Amino acid sequence: MSFTPDPLPPLTRRAWNRAALALAISPWLAPGAQAQAVSSSAEAAKGAYKGPAWQINPFSLGVASGQPQPGSVVLWTRLRITEADAALKAQTISVVCEVFADPALRQPVRQWRVQTDATRAHSVHVIAQDLQPGRHYWYRFVSGNAISPVGHARTSPGVNDAVDRLRIALASCQHYEQGFYVAHREMAQRELDLVLFVGDYIYESSNPQHMLRKHQGGVPRQLDEYRERHAQYKTDADLQACHAAHSWVITWDDHEVVNDYANDLDRDYTDPQVFLRRRAAAYQAYFEHMPVRLGPDPANASQMRIHDRMAWGRLADLWTLDCRQYRDHQACPDPNRGGGRVVMGCEALADTSRTMLGKAQEQWFTEGLTSSTKRWKLVAQSTQMSSSGVNSPLGRSAFTDGWDGYPQARARLLHTIAQARLQNVLVLGGDVHMNVAAQLRVHPNDERSPVVASELVSTSITSRGLGEKLLAQIRDSNPDILHARADERGYTLIDVKPEGVSAHFRTTPYPAQADGVFKTQAQFHVQSGVAGLLPG
Ligand code: FE
Ligand code: CA
């Protein structure tokens, strides 16, 4: 790993006092269960913190950081308690989180003591506050005689800072059974500012025809089953390395709950009251395993806010949108099997009241977007925004689970960008298991409709892609798509600079093998002030 941290100024006595007074309150801790500042870091190294005597190190799921802000970042771990320590499962366990300014852990910055227990699967979320903007930090957790691996985190730059670069790795769709996380290994070794993960972190389902390794257990429905699925993914060494190396910014798609769910409806037309209980379990387990600030809504556990906005100095605003929780149900469904399908001549698609984001999120997003003063507006969401319908003598097809199934909502959004004359809007997505570079117009593929924004969709980390025959039809029917390849797995490296954005699709053949090697499949760039992607 090659980190290039800026040196921190030496800690003043005042800073230490402030540190000693500060409390880090996880929003998910019960009222009153506040983290306490701990006096000395040297205790940790000697294993002198009060706490259990572990037989087996419980930090086997690694550590993670995420959702950076100028003065704070979320630090995460989860104690995985084995049978050797079974007596501890029912106890409230004390965990200390230590933050340092250097990778050798010689310069302590802050530390917090938090409590965790079985009601949150012994997960720990520390919102590390009162940090410096735009800095690198290293952190670890300590419980009794057990010490976690060390993670690297960073805070975002001050909101008005002139920053000359934001380097992102965009990734999604990591079916555990369909390949190895060699992409995470490469990301872990790179110098990045953020990993941007846009959904399908876990998969609930299996396809026995495409299996390099196996899920444990069947399709999760209950909280414990979703916890086990997340824990299995988190045992992967490459995924752990990528979490430890970088701060992540994330949103979800469907497979974190179940394929093609829309709001309160699944493909089996399960009674929404029953399905929302399953969604609550899935959201709870998701929160317990992710470095995010907010958990399920205390007033309604089937709701959890994942959409967010962050800034990278004056260089960029970055939105992470939720395309699942608030959307209208898919249009023109098959009465026997819900979810997405390919339709032609579906009149409901013309209904302007239908939304992909839900009214409240759509309004929040459009207001933010049109008032943004940052050079670049990066819009991360879970799927492909450009059209991928196929023309035939019978008409044009639309896949109802993607943005093609919400064409009025898409047109509304792109019209807003055009109307407000917004420059430098770049949409980032996943879900479709292919690399896509596309121009976005209010009227897709219509030359008379000007390009108003650009889109980059990253292929999957592991999940299998579409066949070449269908892909060729998609390319032929969509001149706005400059590049579309579904045959390789990987991630996308995106460099955002004041003068332009460059993107490299980094790929390895399918299936992603443990020793897979990466190359650049294609590269594109966007010049500041010029709408649309350019090759190279
Ligand atoms: Fe996927
Ligand atoms: Ca998906």
Q: Which ligand is nearest to the CA of 459?
A: 1
- Ligand 1 mean position to 340 CA, how many Å? 13
Across the range 180-194, mean pLDDT stands at 98
For residue 384, how far is its CA from the centre of ligand 2 (angstroms)? 10
Ligand nearest to the CA of 384: 2
Among the listed residues 218, 178, 217, 182, the one whose alpha carbon sits nearest the alpha carbon of residue 200: 178
The one-letter code for the residue type at 461 is I
pLDDT in tens, 357-381: 999 999 999 999 999 999 999 999 9
What pLDDT score was predicted for residue 38? Answer: 43
Confidence band, pLDDT 50/70/90 cuts, at residue 497 = very high
Q: Binning pLDDT at 50, 70 and 90, where does residue 1 land? A: very low
Distances (CA, A) of 125 to 6, 51, 120, 430: 26, 18, 10, 27
Cβ proximity of 396 and 389 under 8 Å: yes
- Measured in angstroms, how far is the CA atom of residue 383 from the centroid of ligand 2? 7
Over range 317-327, report the average pLDDT.
98
Q: How much of the chain, in percent, has pLDDT values that exceed 70?
A: 91
Expressed in angstroms and rounded, the spacing between residue 10 Cα and the centre of ligand 2 is: 46
Average pLDDT of the chain to the nearest whole number:
92
Q: Using the mean position of ligand 2's atoms as its centre, give its distance from the Cα of residue 327 in Å.
A: 14
Burial class (CB in 10 A: 0-12, 13-18, 19+), 318: buried
Between the CA of 469 and the centroid of ligand 1 the distance, in Å, is 20
**Cα(409) to centroid(ligand 1), Å:** 22
* Distance between Cα 429 and ligand 2 center (Å): 10
Q: Kindly list the protein residues that place their beta carbon closer than 5 angstroms to ligand 1, a single-atom ion.
A: 173, 200, 463
Confidence category of residue 50, pLDDT binned at 50, 70, 90? confident
- Measure 430 CA to ligand 1 centroid, in angstroms: 8
For 86-99, the pLDDT digits (tens) are 999 999 999 999 99
- Separation of CA 34 and ligand 2 centre (Å): 37
Residue 190 · residue 493 · CB < 8 Å: yes
Which domains can be identified in the chain, with CATH numbers?
15-69+71-154 (2.60.40.380), 166-535 (3.60.21.70)
Q: What is the CA(95)–ligand 2 centre distance, in A?
A: 35
What's the 463 CA to ligand 1 centre distance in angstroms? Answer: 6
**Cα–Cα dist 505/120, whole Å:** 37
Distance between CA atoms of residues 110 and 100, nearest Å: 7
In this prediction, residues 63-82 reach a mean pLDDT of: 98
Distance 431 CA to ligand 1 centre (A): 5
In angstroms, what is the span from residue 432 Cα to ligand 1's centroid?
Answer: 6
